[in-house]
Structure 1
Amino acid sequence: MTRIAAVAGFLAVALGAFGAHALRADLTLTGRMDTWKTAVEYHLLHALVLLVLAWLRPQARWSYGLFLSGMVVFSGSLYLLCFFNQFWLGTITPVGGVLLLAGWASLFWQDGPQGGR
């Protein structure tokens, strides 16, 4: 779990730098710089969530899986939208958002409705 989080964090930083430098002109020309930044922001945030879960709550496998799949679908669809400028890719993004929300909800409920730590 820690290695997956490390790879996710590495990719978030690499894609952030790639967008800020190599893709800056193209993203600015197409008006997609804010979209790219949103993808990187959610990617990096949830890579950190994966790392914290791996260290502090390794039993939270459902939450981990939902966060991982949500991060891939949400940020991945935005990255692809920026690369290929295909508007239909934006219709996939909310599915990733719902998976991220489900990850947060499952983390809340994993210890039962009474809460946990």
Structure 2
Amino acid sequence: MNIIVVLAGLSGAMAVAAGAFGAHGAQAQAAEWLRTGGMYQLVHSVAAVAVLQLGARVPAWLFLAGGLVFAGTLYAMALGAPRWLGAVTPIGGTLLIVGWLWLGWSGVRG
């Protein structure tokens, strides 16, 4: 069993569910948070599987963790959690950026 692939699959499913809920059952601001979170989470779920195939485990973990924190805080606010969670969202974004930088550095190192 490959835990990264399992988590990427769950993450992708969560992203699609959030996007669908945002498109069909949420108010305007909540829908935007669900759309944004879903898009970032879905892209990084796919990226995690792709970079894993390149042997880049650390970026894969950073993509999954960053996607969960970034999208998770947006989803929580869309569902009524306090807006101060928006201050946590950039931590997820930072993990995503670090994942991309780590991947790029891996390419430089060969």
In structure 2, the residue matched to 1:51 is 49
In structure 2, the residue matched to 1:69 is 65
- What's the TM-score, normalizing by structure 1? 0.81
Instruction: Provide, for residues 55-84 of structure 1, a one-character-per-residue CA deviation record: whole Å limited to 9, x for no partner.
Output: x22x31111111111001000010011112
In 1, Cα distance between equivalents of 2:31 and 2:7: 27
Residue 110 of structure 1: SS of its match in structure 2?
A: helix
Q: Which 4+ stretches in 1 moved above 6 angstroms?
A: none
Amino acid at match of 1:32: A
Give the gaps of 5 or more residues in structure 1: none
- What's the TM-score, normalizing by structure 2? 0.86
Give 1:33's match in structure 2, choosing from 25, 31, 34. Answer: 31
In structure 2, the residue matched to 1:80 is 76
Give the gaps of 5 or more residues in structure 2: none
Q: RMSD between aligned alpha carbons?
A: 1.6
In structure 2, the residue matched to 1:97 is 93
Larger Rg: 1
Identity of aligned residues (%): 37
Task: Tell me the matched-pair count.
Answer: 107
In 2, Cα distance between equivalents of 1:33 and 1:92: 19
Contact 2:19 2:38 in 1 (8 A): yes
Contact 2:49 2:60 in 1 (8 A): no
Amino acid at match of 2:39: E
In structure 1, the residue matched to 2:15 is 12
Instruction: Provide, for residues 14-65 of structure 1, a one-character-per-residue CA deviation record: whole Å limited to 9, x for no partner.
Output: 22112222x33xx23xx332222111110111111112123x22x3111111
Asked if 1:2 is matched to 2:5, the reply is: yes
In 2, Cα distance between equivalents of 1:13 and 1:34: 14
